[in-house]
Structure 1
């Protein structure tokens, strides 16, 4: 579920993307009413946003779903026409039986448009630790939320690789996963992984 803070970013952008996609039209009498599905908790904001008539002459109304997945179902049932999604929702839509979903526009927020990741993991050290830089992590104990997990494994390991702190061997005798694990075992003295 999206936080209310994020709503102020994606909801107006979703409406703007739809308006750009549909373009200006000639007559309101002939125009269909496009139904924008939003999670129930954002219905009032959606209605407030659509209270002013569209300059492009596009008529829209808000339809509430339980959540974003329910909005996908409402689109399948033809009870809604469009929704703003997260990448995870597009993945779910791709794997549903109905194949007539279409991405009409992709919008990245200004805050993370050039970010390497959509969200960042953190490296947490004890307050009295002498560690102040990534390089000083060498020889420390490392704990992760699980092998291959995004925030707890992939993002921090990728950060260490991208900053050239962790150098992965190019040994062709072992797999890429084995090379990465070998490098990690040489970099950190101990590790813990939750499964």
Structure 2
């Protein structure tokens, strides 16, 4: 049989080289979560407010040659738009990752609850079996009541046969005769 020329199907392909940079999605996701967490804090809002006030104040009060953004503040608008265009996808990525974690946690909770319900049902059946078994076991009170009834019967029998009793003979004396 002649050997085939070409790629082997039992070995993985070597990765192709691309012009696009490669990245680790998990590392990128963690970084985006950190950024999204920072963007949602009061500290970010405070710093953003301070930067905007300083920016506007500098471009109004500074001498003409030192100003870098005139009154309609086009450059400030561009910077804020750029920040918003990056913040929104990063926040969405962080929310998607959180949704994935929540989904996994909910699935684990559901499985844990199923096991808990199964264990509870098993224990309920075991307790019911023990109760049924205990219903057939002689308890101390039942034995006492039975013994008390037997003692009463014996006393009644002794009273009823007290006058008609024969004297007890000694067996040895009967055998000697």
Same fold (TM over 0.5): no
TM-score between both structures, scaled by the size of structure 1: 0.18
Which of 1 and 2 has greater Rg? 2
Q: TM-score, normalised by structure 2?
A: 0.19
| Structure number with higher helix proportion | 2
By relative contact order (CA 8 Å, sep 6+), the higher-ranking structure is 2
In terms of fraction of residues, the more strand-rich structure is 1
